[in-house]
A and B are shown apart, each in its own frame.
Chain A
Amino acid sequence: MADNSDFLLQFQEFDSAESHLGGNRDATTISIEDEAAGSHKPQKQRRSAPVTSFEEDNDPLANDDKTELLSGQKKSAPFWTFEYYQTFFDVETHQVRERILGSLLPWPGKNFVRLYIRSNPDLYGPFWICATLVFVIAICGNISDFLVYLGNPQYKYVPEFRKVTIAATAIYSYALLVPLALWGLLVWRNAKVMNMVSYSFLEIVCVYGYSLAVYIPAVVLWIIPYETVRWLSIVVALCLSGSVLVLTFWPAVRDDRPRVAIAIMTAIVALHILLAVGCKAYFFSTLEVEHTAVDAVVGNVTKSSPTTNALN
């Protein structure tokens, strides 16, 4: 440790972890460092993180699970340890880029899940794509309001921050609850009809998260205050992301009875359309709205002036 006078003011991370855990900790750290030579996995940061040392202290089984984890099996850590959640972020930059590109350009023969995700569903992509979409919707909605009301002297520009929370609630609940419902539905149908293809919950969350990626450029295009441009971009975005979803879930559903299959696919597409159109309607004001507001104001002024003339 540094022997400056700030010693007592520093957070004693390394010392506390190692001194409290004694010899047992040393033995396991040595064995794990030998085995973990090739992996990025986290013995180092577990020692340095106060968050995880608490969990290690409380869980005597963590060591066994660590060795199991390093022997090549994935996701066998108990869910209360940090490593369990790290397995959901086991992606690299080029993988995330490929997944996003694959969701932007769906191809009829390729199943998104089988091609890109089958080995390794991640939570990084869905989470950060939804976060980006939330902020992009709020910012672009603000800009479009500003542009629509540009000539209006009565309009005072306010950055509407409440919209960020509303957008966040809407998008994150769509990205979490709809996959949950869909997964439950597929599990229930699987119990009745043996399907060839079945997806885990994380894979469905992944597909939904990455399919929202195409909305980000579409939302940026919605700044342009012309309705034709906005509707065109909505239709294109819906086609692309909807086809990703349809191509993914059709193999899982087609073995079922035709009516049930069609109903499920229709519900998926309908919810997707509802999200897109709802966001556009709520966050982006249109030129017609602005003109009617201006007309109402002008109408009031002209109505009041004859009365003042009459009074005079």
Chain B
Amino acid sequence: MAEVAESSKPMFAGLSDVSISGDIPVEGEINVPVGTPSQDNEYSTLDEPVKDTILRDLKAVGKKFVHVMYPKKSSALLRDWDLWGPLLLCVTLALMLQGGSVDSKDDGGPQFAEVFVIIWFGSVIITLNSKLLGGTISFFQSLCVLGYCIMPLTVAMVVCRLVLLGGSGTVSFIVRLIVVTASFSWSTFASTAFLADSQPPNRKALVVYPVFLFYFVIGWMILTFSPSA
């Protein structure tokens, strides 16, 4: 640093000998860039019709449903998280699980609030567990993945209801058992395909087990659903 200063001293000394007359006009144009940067033009969604906004969100939700049905390790689900899909699935599942036992005196099936609480509280607990074990996924991304992977179980619920329309004997029970088992393993497989990458390798089983338990309990609720006679 000192050498640079020494070498710069003669330079500046030379410059100081130059006299600058104050009459040299400075010409040029001063442009104040009017208008916002291009980012704003691209992302200003305030002026578009409401239909566009809704369709865009619906398309994003639909794209994620497709990702769940064919689980590949894509990062689209993780990057652009949203909670609309999980909310839709949770409400649908809770509504469909509610149509059973009308008797309010007996211990009936799960109420709407119980299903809601189990799904959301369970997802939060599993997310906290994976973060405490050292996972790198963020809180809402994990909630998003767990919520979207309930979709096979919701489909199974619809199928079970249709099967129950035909009767509730042993055959229908076996069919429902197969459907629920298949969809519960699909859910677990889909969510671990997204979540397991974010864990340190020697703790993967510790993270997958609570997810397995979560979907198992939801599958149990679906399987034991018995409509009111």
Contact = CB atoms under 8 A, between A and B. Distances in A.
Interface string B39-65: 100110100000000001100100000
Q: Of A7, A41, A159, A162, which is in contact with the most chain B CB atoms at under 10 Å from its CB? A: A159
Chain B contact-residue range equals: 35 or more
A86 B129 contact: no
Interface residues of A, number: 44
Interface string B213-229: 10011001100111001
B107 A86 contact: no
Given A51-B139, A161-B107, A96 B101 contact: no
A124 B129 contact: yes
A156 B217 CA distance: 22
Given A85-B132, A89-B132, A161-B114, A13 B138 contact: yes
A132 B210 CA distance: 9
B137 A45 contact: yes
Contact of B110 (A44, A89, A139, A161): A161
Contacts of B72: none
A96 B206 contact: yes
A161 B79 CA distance: 36
Contacts of B108: 158, 161
B136 A6 contact: no
Q: DSSP class of A's interface residues: helix, strand, loop or mixed? A: helix
B31 interface: no
A162 B101 CA distance: 14
A129 B123 CA distance: 18
B80 A2 contact: yes
A58 interface: no
B202 interface: yes
Interface string A166-208: 0000000000000000000000000000000000000000000
A257 interface: no
A29 B109 CA distance: 51
B106 A158 contact: yes
Contacts of B175: none
Nearest to A165: B114
Interface in A28-77: 40-42, 44-45, 48-51
Contacts of B80: 2, 6, 10
Contacts of B209: 128
Contacts of A250: none
Contact of B226 (A51, A157, A161): A157
Given A8-B45, A13-B138, A161-B114, A49 B131 contact: yes
Contact of A6 (B56, B129, B132, B216): B56
A51 B224 CA distance: 37
B203 interface: yes
A288 interface: no
Contacts of A89: 129, 132-134
Interface string A12-32: 010000000000000000000
Contacts of A135: 213, 216-217, 220
A53 to B, nearest CB: 11
Top 4 nearest A-B pairs (CB, nearest first) are A160-B107, A159-B224, A89-B132, A93-B205
